Structure 1
């Protein structure tokens, strides 16, 4: 009987040892996985650009439909303004006097994009200073994310999304590559035309690869 009790006690100790080792191994395994931060894409608009420029006015005598015009110089990389886009023109010599203007023409030099803005201003002298504010937003978009979520290689643009999959320790979180088409982009954010059904990784403490197991902060 004493021998049997000894074997039982030994068996219990061994079982506890195995369970402890298993828990330690799993914990060690999980804590050494790459840590990612995830998010759900948002819907809304993207601010493509806004420019506030001081310029000088010019009286119009042609058929533009405006009494005055002014020109502003923008970088050649700006490609989202078009004729008839609205602008706000402030007459600097007249306190709190703001007019609605419109882009009447777009031309190019070797160094700049030139927007001509037409506006109405009665009894406003030629050559007076004006402040022009012009901005452009996209239409309503879905799947907007921070630029840190976007990756590119020779195959194109892609994201990492987090999925639940069966692994050695049961259900685990795995990152999967998702190829996407970028619909619109700014310096801070972008939008894709693809449907996204899983949380998107926007930050990681190490380099990721397709199929890699991770832990995350929601």
Structure 2
């Protein structure tokens, strides 16, 4: 009986070791399959890192292109800043003229139609005051018009081939070439009188 018990114990130990070996083998197979399916960390890094032969990240422009784009934007930004400064200076050059014309409309409920409307009567300002108010370095043309806007102002910095147009009360300042503006002025208007840097215009006809 004792021999049989020993044999049974040995058999159980052998069966236990066999089961352990089988489990260990299955586990090792699973790990090998998992390793085969997923690349190692080094392989992932190689797969996701850009190929040195291909240059930088394809989704990001090369440094040379970024530098070139910034270099191209700088002159444009500087030009915009200069134009804004020029517009501000042009408005300042004719601010008094605008105030005289628009104040006349508020006082008399109509827009002036000639220099006589400004100079005759008891209005506080006159055409000489308007001409003297033009800032140095500017040529200004004032056209009397009919309608809600009341007037048109062309403002040209001396020696420049560009200028600005304000087409009456409440209108934004618009940039334009001097050649184009002078062509319109000569076609549509006649000179009423020139005083200093200010030329008064009347509609033709």
TM norm structure 1: 0.26
Greater helix share, structure number: 2
- The higher radius of gyration belongs to 2
Higher RCO, 1 vs 2 (CA within 8 Å, ≥6 residues apart)? 1
Greater strand share, structure number: 1
TM norm structure 2: 0.27
